[in-house]
């Protein structure tokens, strides 16, 4: 029971860290309500689209830290499964923050930050993939979906344990839930490129 209590004591702060409203605060510092501009999503892509690339990068880094910190804490405790559990909690906090009526971002940057800590080589390769797909298609959503699919595949190809691949798939499915509208628009050919979204 003591071990279970300790896990919950770590999962709760990870979730709360995930709720930190990076995009909302950055936009608000410039007098902007991020929910009313661009796509309305409080994430790095919408910040970059509406405020400029440097602000988008800042939000991406802040959101990435929300995944990287729990991952690092879990590893520091020599508990890789715990690390992924804390990452899942942080991603849930980012996407469904109790502090903002469960209306958060899409979880890509938070998951990317965690993956950078837990799967450095695969993540580095996927950052290149994201940039190439984003550059060629002009669609951040397509680039994000590509790396979400590529992460568990890359980990599996590098000989990752089955449970870890499964954990990544599970968390990525949560991220995909927040991309349902993007997927529908991509399939229907109506997803706008970055240059078209203002």
Higher pLDDT, 1 or 162: 162
Confidence grade of residue 2 (pLDDT, cut at 50, 70, 90)? very low
How high is the pLDDT of residue 182? 75
How high is the pLDDT of residue 100? 87
What average pLDDT does the chain have? Answer: 88
How high is the pLDDT of residue 126? 94
The pLDDT tens digits for 144-197 are 889 999 999 999 999 999 999 999 999 999 888 888 877 787 777 766 555 444
pTM over 0.85, yes/no: yes
Task: State the angle between helix axes of 108-118 and 140-157 in degrees (0 to 180), rounded to the nearest 10.
Answer: 30
């Amino acid at each position: 029971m003591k071990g279970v209590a300790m896990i919950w004591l770590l999962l709760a702060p990870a979730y709360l860290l995930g709720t930190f409203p990076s995009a909302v605060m950055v936009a608000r510092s410039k007098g902007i309500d991020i929910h009313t501009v661009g796509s309305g999503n409080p994430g790095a892509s919408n910040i970059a689209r509406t405020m400029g690339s440097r602000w988008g990068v800042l939000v991406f880094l802040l959101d990435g830290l929300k995944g990287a910190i729990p991952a690092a804490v879990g590893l520091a405790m020599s508990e890789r499964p715990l690390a992924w559990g804390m990452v899942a909690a942080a991603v849930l906090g980012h996407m469904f923050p109790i502090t903002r009526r469960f209306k958060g971002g899409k979880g890509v940057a938070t998951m990317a930050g965690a993956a950078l800590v837990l799967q450095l080589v695969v993540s580095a390769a996927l950052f290149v993939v994201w940039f190439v797909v984003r550059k060629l298609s002009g669609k951040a959503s397509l680039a994000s979906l590509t790396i979400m699919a590529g992460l568990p595949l890359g980990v599996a190809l590098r000989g990752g344990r089955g449970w870890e691949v499964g954990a990544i798939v599970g968390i990525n499915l949560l991220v995909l839930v927040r991309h349902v509208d993007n997927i529908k628009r991509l399939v229907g050919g109506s997803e706008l490129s970055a240059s078209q979204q203002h």
